[in-house]
């Protein structure tokens, strides 16, 4: 292939396989929790069941969307330039919502095997989301604070930077 011809790949080159694996695990656990909850036939107080259903379904759909955005160049096409911020807050929000939904559903169910399985997978999904938040923080820090700001100046040798700027403009340090 000639150097002028760049192949347009849909997959991103900076793909972190560990994080993608965690995202896939989040999708699978959320999906299992959703399916187990959907099969429940009877409920005495269905509000907890419905809240758990909402959280698990939201987690499945939006985590798949986020996984697609993280692994492809689609985010560049759509104009999402702060994907790390979206990823951090979505993952943290899902962890908190899954924790609340799992606690509420654990407290207000009839104890059937499907409900228990839903609650357990809900707590496991919470752990996966929290682990993912920890990975994001460990690898990149908080997404709203710059880790290594790019500087074109040399902080150790300011005089040479000033001289270089003057030399680039056509003047010498003696004429300035």
In this structure, what are the phi and psi dihedrals at residue 72, rounded to the nearest 5 degrees?
-120, 175
Which tops the pLDDT comparison, 51 or 71?
A: 51
pLDDT in tens, 1-17: 444 445 555 666 566 78
Q: Which two tokens stand for residue 1?
A: 């292939």
| pLDDT given for residue 22 in this prediction | 93
CA gap 80, 23 in Å, rounded:
19
The helix (run of H) or strand (run of E) holding residue 54 is helix 46-71
- Under a CB-based contact definition with an 8 Å cutoff, are residues 71 and 11 in contact? yes
User: What value does the mean pLDDT of the chain take?
Assistant: 79
Q: Taking a C-beta distance cutoff of 8 angstroms, is the pair 67, 26 a contact?
A: no
Residues 125, 29 contacting (CB under 8 angstroms): yes
pLDDT of 118 higher than 50:
yes
| In the chain, beta strands by DSSP E | none
Measuring CA to CA, which residue among 28, 46, 62, 51 is closest to residue 101? 51
pLDDT on residue 138: 87
Rounded Cα distance between 59 and 30, Å, is 6
- Residue-wise pLDDT tens digits, 96-110: 999 999 999 999 988
């Amino acid at each position: 292939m000639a150097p002028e011809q760049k192949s347009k790949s849909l997959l991103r080159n900076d793909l972190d396989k560990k994080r993608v694996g965690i995202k896939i695990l989040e999708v699978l656990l959320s999906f299992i929790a959703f399916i187990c909850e959907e099969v429940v036939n009877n409920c005495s107080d269905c509000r907890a069941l419905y809240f758990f259903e909402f959280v698990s379904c939201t987690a499945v759909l939006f985590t798949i969307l986020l996984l697609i955005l993280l692994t492809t160049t689609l985010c560049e096409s759509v104009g999402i330039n702060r994907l790390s911020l979206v990823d951090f807050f979505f993952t943290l929000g899902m962890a908190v919502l899954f924790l609340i939904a799992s606690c509420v559903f654990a407290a207000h169910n009839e104890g059937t095997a499907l409900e228990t399985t839903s609650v357990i997978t809900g707590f496991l999904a919470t752990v996966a989301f929290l682990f993912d938040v920890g990975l994001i923080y460990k690898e990149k820090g908080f997404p709203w604070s710059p880790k290594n700001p790019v500087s074109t100046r040399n902080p150790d040798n300011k005089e040479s930077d000033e001289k270089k700027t003057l030399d680039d403009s056509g003047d010498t340090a003696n004429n300035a």
